[in-house]
Chains A and B, each alone.
Chain A
Amino acid sequence: MDQSEIDALLSGGNLEEENKKQQDIVDSLIKPAETEASNEIDNTPSTEKPEKPEKPEKPKKKGAVMGQLSKVSQEAEEGTTLVMNYLENMLNIATKQKEYSAKLETELKENTLIKSTEEIIAYFKDSSFLIEDLIFNAMDAFQFQDINRQKLMKVMHTLTQLNTYLNDLLGDDSVDDDKPVNFGRNIEDKTLATDLDKENVDDIIAQFQNSN
């Protein structure tokens, strides 16, 4: 959201309209990128002989792949924690804003109410609920982090097994892997879609309960 939109919102604009405008801006930002991406695809068959692929660089130290994957997992957790802190602070502000609005409303009811004041209060109330909902949604979206972390750990586990196997086969005893990893065995692929298996899970639970 840019400053003009924030100003429009602060000046008491309709929140639904503002949301629509925001979505339009997002859509307009997405569409050119998609067009550019599709322009990059060249379907013309190439007559040139493909170049021989370059041999990858030798890793600078042992266990580089595992180390990198481990870092990705660790940094994703740290980064998400940081964003969660920001979001929780915003949530506290929104909650406080709601409390103040309610307090102001009570106090004003004891005197003469001015129409514009009522509108301001209504606006602040609506916006607070909206902000709160958005923040909760953003927090829920971070479930992907835990799922991705487990996927990375699954990769690490597979690589470790492969590494161990190759070292056993080739006689290199430099593997250091006493830390067990924990990951889901059947992780849903569509990380960002929620409740994919809800109905299935409920069915299974019902079947289990009926059989007992």
Chain B
Amino acid sequence: MKFLVVDDSSTMRRIIKNTLQRIGYTDLAEAEHGKDALEKMDGIDIILTDWNMPEMDGLEFVKTVRTTNKTIPILMVTTNAAKDDIVDALKNGVNNYIVKPFTPETLKEKVESVLK
């Protein structure tokens, strides 16, 4: 199971990666923004992406991925906490949504939920 963690904050990428490793997922790739992530999609089974990023934001990235891949699980991990944002993300193909800051338990629960 290969994860792609997309976030412009290196700290957040490391927090997410460390938590995933602790849960038991060790095959992890990372990208700084949507454009970077699109180049690293080979062999990826699940995507965890931030929303607010330079170059290409998370929503644009999700929309682009969904034009060619309808099935890959995508989890949005973001500070955007408004209902409209969550609905917007879901409408555009996000499978589940986490508001920062989150606990490791929430990340585990959400990852397991989208992998079902």
Contact B101 A84 (CB under 8 A): no
Smallest Cβ distance from A162 to chain B, in angstroms? 21
In the docked arrangement, what's the CA distance between A142 and B51, Å? 18
Considering only residues 170-197 of chain A, those with a C-beta below 8 Å from chain B are 180, 182-188, 191-197
Interface size on B, residues (CB 8 A): 37
Residues of chain A within 8 A (CB-CB) of B57 are 182
Contact A201 B98 (CB under 8 A): yes
Q: Which of B9, B15, B54 contacts A149 (CB under 8 A)?
A: B9
Question: Is the C-beta of A143 less than 8 angstroms from some C-beta in chain B?
Answer: yes
Residues of chain A within 8 A (CB-CB) of B51 are 184
Interface extent on A, as a size class? 35 or more
Smallest Cβ distance from A153 to chain B, in angstroms? 9
Question: Is the C-beta of A108 less than 8 angstroms from some C-beta in chain B?
Answer: no
In the docked arrangement, what's the CA distance between A44 and B79, Å? 43
What string of 1s and 0s marks CB contacts (under 8 Å) between B4-42 and chain A?
A: 000111111011001100100000000000000000000
Question: Is the C-beta of A139 less than 8 angstroms from some C-beta in chain B?
Answer: yes
Contact A201 B90 (CB under 8 A): no
A146 and B104 in contact, given A136-B22, A185-B85, A201-B98 (Cβ under 8 angstroms): no
Smallest Cβ distance from B113 to chain A, in angstroms? 9
Residue in chain B with minimal CB distance to A185? B80
Considering only residues 78-116 of chain B, those with a C-beta below 8 Å from chain A are 78-83, 85-87, 90-91, 96-104, 106
What string of 1s and 0s marks CB contacts (under 8 Å) between A84-106 and chain B?
A: 10001001000000000000000
Question: Is the C-beta of B65 less than 8 angstroms from some C-beta in chain A?
Answer: no
Q: Which of A136, A144, A188 contacts B81 (CB under 8 A)?
A: A188
Q: Which of B8, B15, B54, B85 contacts A139 (CB under 8 A)?
A: B15
26 contacts between A and B (CB under 8 A): A81-B11, A91-B18, A136-B22, A140-B15, A142-B15, A143-B100, A150-B79, A182-B52, A182-B57, A185-B80, A187-B80, A187-B81, A188-B99, A193-B101, A195-B99, A195-B102, A195-B103, A195-B106, A198-B102, A201-B81, A201-B86, A204-B83, A204-B86, A204-B90, A208-B87, A208-B90
In the docked arrangement, what's the CA distance between A201 and B89, Å? 12
Question: Is the C-beta of B72 less than 8 angstroms from some C-beta in chain A?
Answer: no
In the docked arrangement, what's the CA distance between A43 and B67, Å? 64
In the docked arrangement, what's the CA distance between A81 and B90, Å? 32
Q: Indicate the member of A149, A183, A186, A188 with the most B CB atoms within 10 Å.
A: A186
Residues of chain B within 8 A (CB-CB) of A182 are 8, 52-54, 57
Residue in chain B with minimal CB distance to A181? B54
Residues of chain B within 8 A (CB-CB) of A194 are 101-103, 106
Smallest Cβ distance from B102 to chain A, in angstroms? 6
Smallest Cβ distance from A158 to chain B, in angstroms? 16
